[in-house]
Structure formats: C-alpha cells, structure tokens
Structure 1
Amino acid sequence: MAVTAVDFDDLPSPARTAIEAETGQILQAETISAGLNSALSVRIHTAAGAVFLKGLRTDHRWAWTQQREADINPYVTPLAPRLLFHVVADGWDVLGFEAIDGHHADYSPGSPDLPKVVDAMRLLGETPCPDIELRRAEQRLAGYVDNPADAEMFKGDALLHTDWNNHNVLVTDDHAHLVDWGWATRGAVWLDPAHWIIWLIAAGHTPAEGEKLVSQVPGWSTAPPAAVDAFAAASSSLWDEIAGNASDGWTSRQRSAARQWCDHRADHA
C-alpha cells in the first residue's frame, strides 16, 4: 500500500479538531514534501510556536510504526525531537513533535555535516536499548542472506535506527537530530554504521571512503569482517527488491550504491 501525501486540510474535521485540542488554534500549516513513510508530513504554526505532524491512516499497513515511534521517543530524546502528543481520531493516527529548525544532512564528501552525524551515531551507540517491543535485525534481514545462518551474525542488544536516509537527519548549528524512528530495531551495534555506508556511497563516497568514515564510530570496530560481508550482500538483495523493475531516481542510486559496496567487500575478501 503506497503512501499518498495529504495536506492538513485534507484530514477529516474530527481529526483536525483532535489535533487542535492539543496544539491550540492552528494559524498556518505547511506540507513537507520530503517524507517517504508518512502520508501526513506537516509543520503547523500556533500562537505557542511550531509543531511537526506526521501521520498515517489507521488502516495503512505501516500504521504500527506510529505507535513504535511513540513508545521509543522517551528513550531517544534529546537525540530525537520530543513527542508532544499522539492522536488517533476518525481513521487517522497522528504524532506531534517539537519542531526543529535545521536542514537535511548533506552526506557528500567534505560536507561539514558529516562529523555531526558521526557524533549522533556515536551517541546512539551509547544509548541503552529499551525493554519495549522492537523488531530484531536478524529477523528483518533473514530473507536476504544467502545462508540462513548468516542472519545470526546480525544479532545484538543495541538500539538501532536503521533508516539513515539523509532526510531523517536534521542538522542544526550544534547537533544532528534523528527523526522517523518507526523502523527502530534491536541488533548488533555495528549495523547502523553499516546502513549508513550505503547512503554515503550514494552521496558520492567510494566504498573505502565510506568504511573509513564510519570507523570513527566506536561500534564499527566490533564488526566481524564476515558479518559485514554478509550484511553488504543482504543489503544489495534488499535494495534490488525495493527498486524492482520500475525504480525512481533515489532507489536506483541506493541499489547501485549497495551493489558497489557488495562488490567492494567481495573483491577484498
């Protein structure tokens, strides 16, 4: 089921009323076009300030990610924006977060954002994984490994974000903030740096440069080479599936980046 973007005014009246009960009168609503996992992605302005809204219809197959974000938020602030409210009304599930004035991270070589992203990843690696329901890395990747036993190498007790799309990283003057925690996962601590490598390659880094950059994250040093090889191969298969036969520009770039990294790991095995 694809995510179809909607504006705030497209929400049914009872849902808008329930949101305004939390925020006060909404003076302006700006639709944010960058969201990939939310039908509603809106920055609203009220007399008390700005709030970011993200939402899905309650019958959408990803609606469960809304509750996942609500559950995990107390454990990941201030790395993530603070959740202000969670409203379910008239077929819509909507989260309201404090609005952050920042820009989407630039992952290109030499970007001044890169050290801030490394710092955020380092802080996440030090954050205890909460005792809440989370998907497990070995389960999420089990369908993409050549040997089912390889998935066991992704096991761990670290809290992972897993979706390092640069639109999920908002950079301010001092910090990088992580948003969109619906796919948070429990697994090996080195997996988040591994996920990031593919996005770095897509942004113009070579596979070797991507690996060198993530080596600044302490958790990366715990990664067994064979496990990284298996993850790179699984990620290539995953992005092949995501891109399919009618991929758009960004999925094509990600598939190409995943293949480049997989080939790099195979060449240096």
Structure 2
Amino acid sequence: MTTTRIHWADLPESVRLAVAARLGARVLTAETISAGFNSEIAVELTTTEGRAFIKGMQLSHPRVWTQRREAAVNPYLQGLAPRVLWHAEVDGWSLLAFEYIEGRHADYRDAGDLELMVDTLSRLGRTPCPPIELRRAEQRWAAYVDEPRMLSRFRGDALLHTDLNTENVLVHGGGVLLVDWAWATCGASWIDPALWVIWLIAAGGHRPAAAEAWAARVPSWSTADPTVVDVFAQAQARMWAEIAGDDPDPWTDGLNRAAQLWARFRGRG
C-alpha cells in the first residue's frame, strides 16, 4: 500500500509550530522528498540552526506503528543509520526528526557502491537483535513456506533490515547508511544478504549467480544451509507474486520477476 505524500505547508499550523519548537529553530525552507512509499510527510527542513529530515504519518494511519518501531530501534543502529533526534505525537500526527545526511541513493549496478554495501551488511550481520518488540523471521514468512520444520532455520538473534531498496541506502562519507527501519526483524544473519540478492537482480546487470556472488562477500551468507536458502527463495517468490497480484505497477512487477528468477535459479521455482 503506497501512501499519498503531502507537503510541509499542508500540515496543520500547530504541528509545524511544534516541530520548530522541538528543533529549537525557525524553519526557513521546506523541500518535500519524493523517494520512499510509506510516509505521508517526508521533508528536508532548512532552519536557522541547520538542516533536519522529518517524516511522519497521521495517528489514524494503519501503519503508524512503523514510526514507533523506527524510534525504538534507532538507538541500536550507531554507524548503520542516521540518528533520530526525537519522536513526537502531536495534534493527530506521529513525527520523527532525523539528523540530516548529505548523500545519494546507492546504485546497485556500480561496483563501488556494492563494495560499500558489503561492508555495511557485514557490520549489520554482527549486530544483535535489541531487547525491543520486533517481528521474528520465522513468523514473518510462515505463510509462504510449505515445510514448517524449515521455519525454525530462519530463526536467529541478528538484527535484520529486510527492505534493501536502493532508496533506503544512502552513500555518505565513504560508507553506506540504511534508512527506513520500519520492517526491522530478528532472524538468522544470512537473511539480509539473501534478500539483497533479489534487489540486485531487480536493479539490472546481475543474473542470479552474479547477485549471489556479491551476497557471498558478506560473512553471514556462509552460515546458511543451501537447502534452507532454497526454501527461503521460494518463500520470497510466493510473497512477491502475492504482492504483485494480477495488475502490478512497474516497480512491484520488477521485484516479482526478480524473485521468481532467483527461486528458479535455486531449483525450487
């Protein structure tokens, strides 16, 4: 479900004043950010004290829980994600303020960006799941697995991002930061590199074998039983087929095609 994006000026004045008060500055300019699908408001603010990024949803939005999830997980992401400055719920809105990061979205066809991503996924694979409420991998994909005994092999204590869309990957200062942690999950550490394979195929320029070769540079990939990866690939193919439905938009269709291609490559498609 894609959320309609609104502009800073569309927010109630009371909300805009509350944001300025929390930032301790006067807002000079506001630029709506088009990237991303989930937030109703996503805006870069230039203030008398510098810049900040604000994202938010109305409290009535069915996915407003993702705002609280990001606020809860952010303290455990030092060096992996932009820092959350504050989370506030005011006059019917849930708002997150982040430190402003000057960067660009990664290009998964660029070897330099892929090397940076390998480094970030390697560090993330060593990051333990924090003591907060998060979905578990064995729960999240249960509906797409025919062999329930295999679900226990998705279980683990690593923190997973699980949405490695290039728009969630910022190249900054010679490294990569991951944004939009709404779908953070606890699970086996090989799962993020496995999910990355689908995004690499969808980006173009990578057949499944080449995509897996990049994933294999992430140390946690080697901890996966190939048979379990086969099952996981099939689960992703089923999930994306369900998401795509009969009349997918181009973006969803591309991910679905990539997932089907990977599942066939793994011999379960």
TM-score, normalization by structure 2: 0.96
Aligned residue number for residue 69 of structure 2? 68
Aligned residue number for residue 77 of structure 1? 78
| Distance in 1 of aligned mates of 2:62 and 2:267 | 36
The answer to whether the Cα contact below 8 Å between 2:127 and 2:159 also exists between their aligned partners in 1 is yes
Q: Deviations over 1:46-90 (max 9, x none)?
A: 011110111111111111111111011111022110111111111
Aligned residue number for residue 45 of structure 1? 46
TM-score, normalization by structure 1: 0.96
| Distance in 2 of aligned mates of 1:47 and 1:104 | 27
Following TM superposition, where does structure 1 have runs of at least 4 consecutive aligned residues deviating by more than 3 angstroms?
none
| Distance in 2 of aligned mates of 1:15 and 1:193 | 39
Aligned residue number for residue 192 of structure 1? 192
Aligned residue number for residue 25 of structure 1? 26
The answer for unaligned runs of 5 or more in structure 1 is none
Q: How many residues align?
A: 267
Aligned residue number for residue 144 of structure 1? 144
What is the Cα deviation at residue 122 of structure 1?
0.6
Aligned residue number for residue 179 of structure 1? 179
| Distance in 1 of aligned mates of 2:120 and 2:2 | 30
| Distance in 2 of aligned mates of 1:132 and 1:260 | 35
Alignment of 1:2-17 (within 5 A): 2-17=2-17
Aligned residue number for residue 234 of structure 1? 235
Q: Deviations over 1:209-246 (max 9, x none)?
A: 01111111110000001110011000001111111122
| Distance in 2 of aligned mates of 1:145 and 1:57 | 34
| Distance in 2 of aligned mates of 1:69 and 1:265 | 33
- Secondary structure at the aligned position of 2:82 is classed as coil
What is the Cα deviation at residue 2 of structure 1?
4.3
| Distance in 2 of aligned mates of 1:95 and 1:167 | 18
| Distance in 1 of aligned mates of 2:245 and 2:19 | 37
Q: Which amino acid aligns with 1:123?
A: R
Deviates further, 122-131 or 97-106: 122-131
Q: How big is the alpha-carbon RMSD for the aligned residues of Structure 1 and Structure 2? A: 1.3
| Distance in 1 of aligned mates of 2:229 and 2:43 | 37
| Distance in 2 of aligned mates of 1:210 and 1:180 | 23
The answer for unaligned runs of 5 or more in structure 2 is none
What is the Cα deviation at residue 15 of structure 1?
1.3
The answer to whether the Cα contact below 8 Å between 2:2 and 2:38 also exists between their aligned partners in 1 is no
Matched, 1:98 2:99: yes
| Distance in 2 of aligned mates of 1:111 and 1:78 | 22
What is the Cα deviation at residue 251 of structure 1?
0.7
